[in-house]
Structure 1
Amino acid sequence: MLAIAMILDAALGEPDWLWSRLTHPAVLLGRLVDWLDRGLNRGTARRAKGVAATALLVAVGWAVGATIAWLPDFGLLEIACAAILLAQRSLVDHVRDVADAMRRSTAEGRDAVARIVGRDTRDMDPPQIARAAIESGAENLSDGVIAPAFWFAVAGLPGMLAYKAVSTADSMIGYRTPRHEAFGWAAARLDDVLNWIPARLTAGLILLANGAIRHAHRVPNDARQHRSPNAGWPEAAIAPVLGVALAGPRSYDGEMRDFPWVNPTGRRDPGAAEIEHACSALWRAWGAGLMLAVLLAVLGLA
């Protein structure tokens, strides 16, 4: 079922004709997170309330997934739901859109990359735009494809939906801001735990699929330079594949922050061509993941 779902996602992506008429499950999860945030994130004991909210999100995701998996439809609905919750095609399309926009103008490149990153984009130069797009692609290969696929392999659709619920919560409330530092603590920490194995698996797939295993010894050290315990792994893997340096200084909320470089000996002036190469590398890593899913199916492990 996982292999079929991965192929369906790769072939169809996120068709506008469907999601212009129906509400995407990720949007429904987002609405639930927002409702919990508005209802519980107030007064005292906000961390405890955040723990309860996160537990509820996991329970809802698991219950919905278990109900769908229980239906006597020969797994067709389960496969369809899994395909919807994967994001390979849409991920690569959005990253490639940045390369296309950069070729037209720097201003259009900034507008395109602003749709997929949370950092300030107004004053980005072309290399900063390219680095942001490549980093987003690598990180979201882990968060949006390999991690949900991993949890489907481990615990079926219930595990996949529970993971997506936590991931959605982390993206909305898992920030160290005055409003969310306490309430979003549980979602952020649980997201770190659930992504620990998938992030490292993603790095391995990127290196393996792109003939870059010789760089494996460098990845752990570069990954530790990242502020996230997981996001640095796929970024540290794709950087030497492309021969570029990633991360480095960038601006958030008007403040320039001096983050260390990942693969610091790589080129620091990537452009649209490197984004295209990154898209190809992401597809090859996806292909390696698909082969792994097929192997697990043959062995009867998923």
Structure 2
Amino acid sequence: MSAPVILLLAMMLDAAFGEPRWLWSRVPHPAVLMGRAVALLDRKLNTKNGGIIAGGAALAILIGGAWFIGWALAHLGGIAQIVIVAILLAQRSLVQHVAAVADGLRISLGDGRRAVAMIVSRDTAQMDQSAVARSAIESAAENLSDGVIAPIFWFLLGGLPGLIVYKAVNTADSMIGYRTPRYERFGKTTARMDDVMNFVPARLTCLLIALPAGVIGMLDEIRKDAAQHRSPNAGWPEAAMARAIGVALAGPRAYDGKMQQFPWVGGAGARTIGAGEIEASIRKLWQAWGMMLGLTILLASLG
């Protein structure tokens, strides 16, 4: 069974069933296991004498282990690979988490804040309705890249080993890739590796959002907005999503009790938004997924 055929079936399986709670309430999700591995490396190698070299060693161990596990699992056969790839994709679960914010906002602002707090790291306690909606839409765009398109890209490029290496690096970046006293040096190599591995997928995600939305002619504006983002990659899908649904994203937000001023993305778009705009972003998630599914069908037919 070719990689595109495996991917095609895995994408449909993930879209249909998502994350079955009955299973992950009984056994740890692979992402949880990856997180435990990162935490162990952090405890063992990130000591007072640690730094960039120790962080590089941790990353090398993580990548080597992930590659070996992927290589071993790939020998289980096509059916097993379909299930594993479906588990490591996150289209349906992403849609469900973002939709929960829209549903929450329709009940009350407090419910919307609680729902968005499940998917963003910024302070949510003082958010107004528009800030809640922006946060959900930004998360939708960024996680479409990180949780769906990038895993697909790396599976097509490197098979199951490539996919698992990507997921391990991305998990590590979410845990140790921060500019804090503890991780400024130790997590730097991991953060840069995550940037490299997301470079192409982020821009591919941008195109997958922009094309069906009819805003591909705004690529120059999208590029300029993306260049202002603190991440070299996240700005691309966010800027495309902003123009696809006609809203302004980013802007001021609070982290750890401190308000920070970030440039607006798609600043000419609407700034007073709510549940309706979140639902519009969900439609764009499915359109982008459909575009990727079409490309996968094409690859499968060529194969």
Q: Which interval holds the TM-score relative to the shorter structure? A: over 0.9
Give the distance between the partners of 1:60 and 1:4, measured in 2 at CA. Answer: 26
CA distance in 1: counterparts of 2:284 and 2:253, whole angstroms: 24
Corresponding residue for residue 159 of structure 2: 156
2:47, 2:223 → 1: CA distance?
A: 39
Query: Are residue 214 (structure 1) and residue 217 (structure 2) matched?
Result: yes
Aligned residue for 1:95? Answer: 98
**Which residue of structure 1 aligns with residue 61 of structure 2?**
56
Deviations along 1:207-240, one digit per CA (max 9) or x if unpaired, are 1122222222211101111100000000000001
Q: Deviations over 1:97-131 (max 9, x none)?
A: 00000011101111100000000001000000000
The corresponding residue for 1:227 is 230
Please tell me whether residue 246 in structure 1 is matched to residue 244 in structure 2: no
Structure 2 partner of 1:184: 187
AA of the residue aligned to 2:65:
V
- 1:266-277 equivalences under 5 Å are 266-277=269-280
* Alpha-carbon distance between aligned partners in 2 of 1:211 and 1:295, rounded to the nearest angstrom: 22
CA deviations over 1:62-90 (Å, ceiling 9, x no partner): 1111101123x3x1111111000000000
- Partner of 1:251, secondary structure, is strand
Matched to 1:79, the amino acid is I
* SS of residue matched to 2:65: helix
Q: Classify the secondary structure of the residue corresponding to 1:224.
A: helix
Taking only the aligned residue pairs, the percentage that are identical comes to 60
**1:172 aligns to what?**
175
Residue pair 1:135, 1:247 contacting (<8 A) in 2 also: yes
Deviation at 1:21, TM superposition (A): 1.3
Post-superposition CA distance 1:234-268 (Å, at most 9, x none): 00000011110000000011111110000111111
Q: Name the structure 1 match of 2:49.
A: 44
Number of residue pairs matched by the alignment:
298
Which of 121, 125, 128 pairs up with 1:122?
Answer: 125
> For the residues of structure 1 that align with 2:261 and 2:215, how far apart are their CA atoms?
28
Matched, 1:23 2:28: yes
Given that 1:92 and 1:279 are in contact with CA atoms closer than 8 Å, whether structure 2 keeps it comes out as: yes
After TM superposition, the score normalised by the length of structure 2 is: 0.97
**Contact conserved, 1:62 with 1:159, CA < 8 A, in 2?**
yes
8 Å Cα contact 1:210-1:285 kept in structure 2: no
Report the CA distance between 1:47 and its aligned residue.
1.2
TM-score, with structure 1 as normaliser: 0.97
CA distance in 1, matches of 2:43, 2:123: 26
CA distance in 1, matches of 2:170, 2:241: 22
Q: Kindly indicate whether residue 86 of structure 2 is the aligned counterpart of residue 83 of structure 1.
A: yes
Paired amino acid for 2:15:
A
Q: Distance in 2 between matches of 1:67 and 1:249?
A: 46
CA RMSD of aligned residues (A): 0.8
Residue type matched to 2:60 in 1?
A: A
Structure 1 unaligned blocks of 5 or more: none
Q: Does 2:268 correspond to 1:265?
A: yes
Quick one: distance in 2 between partners of 1:21 and 1:118?
Answer: 27
| 1:104-143 mapped onto 2 (5 Å cutoff) | 104-143=107-146
Aligned to 2:12: 7
Which residues of structure 2 form unaligned runs of 5+?
1-5
Name the residue aligned to 1:33: 38
* Alignment partners' CA distance in 1, 2:279 and 2:273: 11
Segment of structure 1 superposing worse, 230-239 or 216-225: 216-225
Shift of 1:132: 0.2
Cα distance, 1:3 vs structure 2? 1.0
